[in-house]
Amino acid sequence: MLSAPAARTVGQPRILVTGFDPFGGQPVNPSWLAAQALDGLDIEGHRVVSAQLPTRFASALPCLQELLAGVRPSLVLCTGQAGGRSAISFERVAINVNDARIPDNGGEQPIDTPVIEGGPAAYFSTLPIKAMMAALLGEGIRADVSQSAGTFVCNHVFYGLMHLLATDPRWAGVRGGMVHVPWLPQQGQPSMTQEQVVHGLQVALRCAVRTRADLRLQAGAIS
């Protein structure tokens, strides 16, 4: 994780991967377990630095800002849990709204508030999400492109990340995005094993580092 000396290797480009702590009564969060497993790996000459974000509206973005300043990554992948999904889902768009169906881990439950006051309505991921999806499918791992990251803390972080990358000159050229992973088998169904999730994220990150222009292939939704 961030505190490890290896995470601060001078001169080596870095990938920041974040996951969340458990929320909603779940004992674990598969996004954080997967992020932990990736920490310290070398992917296409980039060192992965993993960090946990709090599932709290008030502190998630300040924590992310500190991580960006400390890690200075060339690529950022935020991961989150999406119970009920059956595939690793690459998020296309982040929207400027908080609308929490349940309280966060701090008891906060914002309804119809902006993530960033005065910010644009939405941001698109700057990762090659269709190429990443295709890379996972080629490995036999369930994957899709999602048109909505929800309106809970995952979307809050996704939108905040993309706003920082778009508006802060320090992060010019840094690419970023969000991916949701399914429950683990012990959490409910549908699910995916931790090994599958970790392998899928490795494949996705390798593709993201290698790929600048995304593929043009069908990954839309009717509803």
Among all residues, which ones are annotated catalytic?
91, 154, 180
Token pair in block for residue 147: 């048109």
Backbone conformation region of residue 40, classed left if phi is above 0, alpha if psi is from -120 to 50, else beta: left
CA Rg, the chain, in Å? Answer: 16
- Of the candidates 72, 54, 36, the one whose C-alpha atom is nearest the C-alpha of residue 198 is 36
Token pair in block for residue 62: 């300040």
Contact 147, 221 (CB under 8 A): yes
**ω before 110 within 30° of 0 (cis)?**
no
Strand stretches in the chain, DSSP E: 14-20, 42-43, 46-53, 75-81, 88-91, 93-95, 98-99, 111-113, 122-124, 143-146, 175-181
CA distance 114 to 121: 9
Distances (CA, A) of 83 to 3, 9, 23, 31, 80: 30, 35, 11, 11, 10
